[in-house]
Amino acid sequence: MLTVTLPPHIRENEGTARVMGCVLLPLLCVVALSTYYYGPRVVIITAISVLSCVISEWLYQRLTMKKCTVGDLSAVVTGTLLACTLPPSIPVWMPIVGGVFAIVAVKQVFGGIGRNFMNPALAARAFMMLSWPASFTTWPPVHTRLSLFRSMPDLITSATPLASLKAGEQPAEDLLQLFIGERAGSIGETAAVILIAGGLLLLVTRVITWHVPAAYIGTVAAIALIFPRVSYMPLGTYVLTEIMSGGALLGAIYMATDYSTSPVHPVGKIIFGVGCGALTMFMRYKGSGPESVCFAILVMNCFTWMIDRATAPVRLRDNWTKIKAKFARKGAAR
């Protein structure tokens, strides 16, 4: 009998733990570089976020008497991704709340890995942004030594490159500084070079395909090329600044490619990536805040089922039509 299971579907002998391990490796390199820029508080934030996710998953599955899946490393990846989306100066108790929300409210309530319709880390980030917006407006300059645990209300902040673009100004950082991550931003936004290298690793190991990242970044580049916000910047410099600023690379490579929340068919992946890129730029240009990757991907997550339905292979669509007709006949017989 043919058994049909929920994603992720991997055509290899290795399991989910191997896939998660491949995703985790470049993320840990990003965390390590961010630790160099901001000090050991980054490690504290990441460790708290990971522990919150792992303990939440273990405790929920124990209480509901479900099979424990902590060993597949998916909760570790969710915790690391969540930490990568947070400012390094965020209060240390907030990743605990975010981890619980990501695992319980977004992942486990819907049945666990493969059944969530939204990216858990991004949903948790959106929840935290809406609940405590002030904590997401503080961006310490690089090489600022932050306190390990203490909140820092008097911390000096600096403008992120996206905030400068939002104000119609050229960012103070040049392209090299953006490439190596020497600018203010979230923990995971610091190093374009590591994010890109990690993306190539995931492509070579066939953990992800090129469709979503290429469509996402290509759309961001195309819109930036056609509608530049800073007229006196060289066009090529402006386009690269838009791509390497904020969370576009982190979102396109590591979050929009999530198996559970992105389309299955290659054409659907391209549509999904174009939608993420277009929404990211639309909200960057017209939104109240400078960054928009989080909400752009979450909105497209809601349309994944519709994209899958429209781009399903012909044989599957035919079967779907037959299944619907069969159920319609049964309904008429009653």
pLDDT in tens, 89-133: 899 999 999 999 999 999 998 888 878 889 999 999 999 999 998
What is the reported pTM? 0.86
pLDDT of 79 > 90? The answer is yes
Whole-angstrom distance, CA of residue 276 vs CA of residue 217: 9
Cβ burial of 3 (10 Å; 0-12, 13-18, 19+) is: exposed
Q: What mean pLDDT do residues 25-36 have? A: 92
Whole-angstrom distance, CA of residue 45 vs CA of residue 57: 19
Cβ burial of 2 (10 Å; 0-12, 13-18, 19+) is: exposed
- Cα 167-173-174 angle, rounded to 5 deg: 115
Residue 66, classed as helix, strand or coil, is coil
Q: What mean pLDDT do residues 23-30 have? A: 91
Kindly tell me the sign of the dihedral angle through the C-alpha atoms of 218, 236, 33, 130. Answer: negative
Cβ pair 252, 214 in contact under 8 A: no
pLDDT confidence bin for 54, thresholds 50/70/90: very high
Q: What mean pLDDT do residues 199-212 have? A: 92
pLDDT confidence bin for 161, thresholds 50/70/90: confident
pLDDT of 327 > 70? The answer is no
Cβ pair 59, 104 in contact under 8 A: no
**Per-residue confidence (pLDDT) for residue 129, from 0 to 100:** 92
pLDDT of 233 > 60? The answer is yes
Better pLDDT: 312 or 183: 183
pLDDT in tens, 268-325: 999 999 999 999 999 999 987 777 899 999 999 999 999 998 887 665 555 555 555 5
Percent of the chain having pLDDT more than 90?
52
Residue 178, classed as helix, strand or coil, is helix
Cβ burial of 222 (10 Å; 0-12, 13-18, 19+) is: middle
